[in-house]
Amino acid sequence: MECFHESEGMHYEGTCIRPPSEAFSILLQVTLGCSHNKCTFCGTYKDKRFAIKDNDTILSDILFASRYMKRQDRVFLMDGDALIIPQRRLLWILERIREHLPWVKRVGAYANAKCIKMKSDEELSELRAAGLSILYLGVESGDDETLKKICKGTTAENLIKMGRRVRFAGIKLSVTVLLGIAGRQRSMIHAKATGELLSAMDPNYVGALTVMLIPGTPLYDQAKGGEFQILSEKELLLELKEMISHTNLSRGLFFSNHASNYLPIKARIPGGKEEALAIIDKALRGEVGLRQEWMRGL
């Protein structure tokens, strides 16, 4: 029997984030926190321990959305990596979304390499058939040394393999990479390796963000202690140029229009690659204005 109390509203706990493209989605919090939660640059989920929410709470939120969110045709499953939910429970959630929110056209979630690996190819295809349309994968870097330093818990080779499996299952793949995450010493190595990883993975979308120091994170402490160097505007532009120059997608969109970036870029690769590189060159020559520091943020 389904129980629903109209006055309860949505059950959100702690800090909640979602990708920019999910700004107008129904945000359904099915997990708390991140099952990995060790990345040195991230302070998002430090306020809560990872847990999967109970079915009654999830169903209550779906029912609330069925009454009050009929204009929103996308659902995003929070928090950090909802794909880690055991298959039967995740299918149950997708089935309830289909049952009570029949107008929804797309369901998305964050994922990491570990939780993708826990799903078989058949299970990924099963999730796609049940309505899971897009996964957001934090790649950050294609350089194994950088991935190790930031405690990503995976390798470039594994990220490529997991990303390809998502695409093979018919699920759209959106990945994020971090400009500046390798510091000054490995900047160009990181940029080239990340472009090569993206080429091998061939995601539908790439979002480039610029690393920003968050108080309380290990990376913040490393920067304060001199172990990590934040790149200058020019160095970040050169890193972005190197990354794009080594990125070859079949028909993917490359964005650097996140608020953390100095130079917004939107290019469909391969067609728009040269134009994007030309814009970066203009910015390096001072012919294109950059986002002001006070306008930048996560």
Block means of pLDDT (10 residues each) for the chain, 298 residues, are 51 87 95 92 86 95 96 95 95 98 97 96 98 97 98 97 98 98 97 98 96 94 95 96 97 88 92 96 92 71
Q: List CB contacts of 171: < 8 A, sequence separation 6 or more.
A: 124, 127, 128, 132, 133, 134, 135
pLDDT at 260: 84
Residue 266's CATH number: 3.20.20.70
- The answer to whether residue 180 sits within a structural domain is yes
| Average pLDDT of the chain to the nearest whole number | 93
- The answer to whether residue 192 sits within a structural domain is yes
Query: Which single residue is written with the structure tokens 């610029």?
Result: 210
Q: Tokens representing 268?
A: 């469909």
Identify the domain containing residue 258 by its residue range: 11-284
pLDDT at 184: 95
Write down the number of H helices and E strands in the chain. 10, 10
What's the total number of domains in the chain? 1
- The answer to whether residue 2 sits within a structural domain is no
- The answer to whether residue 292 sits within a structural domain is no
pLDDT tens digits, one per residue of 136-188: 999 999 999 999 999 999 999 999 999 999 999 999 999 999 999 999 999 99
pLDDT at 294: 62
Query: What is the model's pTM?
Result: 0.93
3-state helix, strand, coil split of the chain in percent (to 5) is 40, 15, 45
- The answer to whether residue 72 sits within a structural domain is yes
- The answer to whether residue 296 sits within a structural domain is no
What is the rounded (10 degree) CA torsion for 198, 203, 209, 215? -90
d(CA 132, CA 173): 11
pLDDT at 17: 86
pLDDT at 2: 35
Q: List CB contacts of 111: < 8 A, sequence separation 6 or more.
A: 81, 82, 83, 135, 136, 137, 166
- The answer to whether residue 158 sits within a structural domain is yes
- The answer to whether residue 127 sits within a structural domain is yes
d(CA 20, CA 184): 28
